[in-house]
Amino acid sequence: MNILQSKILQKQDPELYKYIQNEKKRQMEGLELIPSENYVSEAVLSVMGSILTNKYSEGFPHKRYYGGNTNIDDIEQLAIDRAKKLFKVEHVNVQPYSGSPANFAVYLALLEPGDPISGMNLLDGGHLTHGWKVSATAKFFKSYPYHLKPDGRVDFDELWKIAKEYKPKLIWCGATAYPREIEFEKFAEIADSIGAYLSADIAHVAGLIVGGVHKSPVDYVHVVTTTTHKTLRGPRGGMIMVTKKGIKKDQDLPQKIDKAIFPGSQGGPHNHITGGIAVALNEAAKPEFKKYAAQIVKNSKAMASEFKKAGVKMISDGTDNHLILLDLSQYGGLGAQLEFALDIAHMTANKNTIPADPASPYYPSGLRLGTPALTSRGMKEKEMKQIAKWITEIINYIKDYKLPQEKENRQKFIADFKAKMKNDKFLIGMGEKVKKMTRNFPVPGIRK
């Protein structure tokens, strides 16, 4: 938000202005450790707050249902062309409102209701839209999820059995809490053996892929979906991409994808987001982005090595990417408590289930951490090691606050825990250390 915009908003809506300033302060003084969050550049912010939001543009470039879209056509085509070049794909749709609508559109394009599907189990690190039981994807399709092995890696033997027995028409690879590189070639071997479509959800690793520090799925899959935020550092939108392999399997696949977005599941695109995506893709094509992506992984590995040194367990005992999943099961369901304690200490992370979690999804045994946002602020291995030490100290400080076995007692236990920790001197003191660190690392896109 530039100075002029701030003054206008402050005068017109002081209440909302106050809340935005509070959030600005939180972002500047805290450490953003959620792996699905990042900071956009000032250029991306400027497009997202631009006059592009005024225009309705149902349809696609040069095929609109509204007049006055000449300039919008140019902007959307620019985003499409940049994505095609960056990811080396044949067709791109940049209109999905986010990752979940993009995934739903893939189902709509490829399947009929009741068709069998397979994706990573949510509690093992998969996404809701990969067929989790409470998602519409499991209500409209027959879901046969695969899991992780005890070592925290994909159980391909199980997926082979699912493929042979249930013959899913669509298999998902990709995850939302998986610390290891996705082995696209192994998924492709299984999908090809039964003639299934293979879709890669790269929402978390898209930036790592274009940065050259994670293998690309393009040679192995038929469809690729992604969000445009997270490691790609763009606005909160989505994309669907069709590969050469996808077109070879079905020459009408690009048209099917487009129709699944509009008119199949969405109306007018958000043009201000499309413009922001175009800017982010241009930024990701620059040489410095490769350095950024490489530093994300270096930072993640540095943090993981510090946890390992301190004896803090991690799913798969480390990481290949931007993400670390702490295994706190030895302390009971500690994820929710640790998330709140970190919040008091100006560190934002998210509680998360671990494979075969003995606790509840609401009070899980894991904590999910990531390095994209910290890396965007210019932090490196030295800071990551210090942050891991702080988190370890907090784990040891609260580890005796174990979740009650009786489910009916948990809500009160968490409420009491929060009340006690809210003014805890140790956590507040830790927060001051964090604030001191953040002063040396400005947040991209935010002016003081």
Query: Which residues, 6+ apart, have CB-to-CB distance to 77 below 8 Å?
Result: 61
What class, spelled out in words, does domain 289-438 have in CATH?
alpha beta
**Residue 429: Cβ within 10 Å count:** 10
**Residue 330: Cβ within 10 Å count:** 11
Nearest in space to 101 (alpha carbons), one of 262, 255, 243: 262
Per the annotation, the verdict on 410 as an active-site residue is: no
Average pLDDT on 120-148 reads 96
Q: Which fold has domain 48-284?
A: Aspartate Aminotransferase; domain 2 (3.40.640)
Structure confidence at residue 233 (pLDDT): 98
Does this model's pTM top 0.85? My answer is yes
Q: What is the pLDDT of residues 431-448, one digit of tens each?
A: 999 999 999 999 999 876
Strands 116-118 and 323-327, by their bridges, are unpaired
| Residue ranges of the chain assigned to CATH 3.40.640.10 | 48-284
Confidence of residue 393 (pLDDT cuts 50, 70, 90): very high
Q: What is the pLDDT of residues 57-75, one digit of tens each?
A: 999 999 999 999 999 999 9
Confidence of residue 360 (pLDDT cuts 50, 70, 90): confident
Per the annotation, the verdict on 201 as an active-site residue is: yes
Structure confidence at residue 244 (pLDDT): 98
Structure confidence at residue 1 (pLDDT): 54
Marked catalytic residue, from 17, 29, 56, 298:
56
Alpha-carbon distances, residue 334 vs 40, 83, 188, 306, 312 (angstroms): 32, 41, 37, 20, 13
Per the annotation, the verdict on 66 as an active-site residue is: no
Compute the distance between CA of residue 72 and CA of residue 75 in angstroms, rounded to an integer: 5
Structure tokens at 44: 């991306």
Structure confidence at residue 236 (pLDDT): 97
Per the annotation, the verdict on 230 as an active-site residue is: yes
Marked catalytic residue, from 137, 225, 227, 375:
227
Instruction: Decide: helix, strand or coil at residue 285.
Output: coil
Alpha-carbon distances, residue 143 vs 129, 146, 193 (angstroms): 11, 10, 19
Q: What is the pLDDT of residues 209-244, one digit of tens each?
A: 999 999 999 999 999 999 999 999 999 999 999 999
Q: How far apart are the first and last CA of the chain?
A: 10
Whether pLDDT at 337 is above 70: yes
Q: What is the pLDDT of residues 261-273, one digit of tens each?
A: 999 999 999 999 9
Structure confidence at residue 405 (pLDDT): 87
Structure tokens at 347: 């560190």
Compute the distance between CA of residue 204 and CA of residue 206 in angstroms, rounded to an integer: 6
Instruction: Decide: helix, strand or coil at residue 226.
Output: strand
Structure confidence at residue 384 (pLDDT): 98
Marked catalytic residue, from 32, 76, 124, 201:
201
Marked catalytic residue, from 84, 236, 313, 389:
236
Structure confidence at residue 361 (pLDDT): 83
Instruction: Decide: helix, strand or coil at residue 381.
Output: helix
Alpha-carbon distances, residue 168 vs 108, 218, 226, 283 (angstroms): 15, 21, 22, 38
Marked catalytic residue, from 64, 82, 230, 351:
230
The annotated binding site for (6S)-5,6,7,8-tetrahydrofolate is made up of: 122, 126-128
The mean of the pLDDT values for the chain is 96
Compute the distance between CA of residue 269 and CA of residue 366 in angstroms, rounded to an integer: 37
Q: What is the pLDDT of residues 75-117, one digit of tens each?
A: 999 999 999 999 999 999 999 999 999 999 999 999 999 999 9
Instruction: Decide: helix, strand or coil at residue 95.
Output: coil
The annotated binding site is made up of: 122, 126-128
| Residue ranges of the chain assigned to CATH 3.90.1150.10 | 289-438
Structure confidence at residue 191 (pLDDT): 98
Among the residues of 315-406, which ranges form H helices? 335-344, 372-376, 381-398
Per the annotation, the verdict on 227 as an active-site residue is: yes
DSSP letter for each residue of 40-53: --HHHHHHHTSGGG
Compute the distance between CA of residue 44 and CA of residue 272 in angstroms, rounded to an integer: 10
Whether pLDDT at 5 is above 80: no
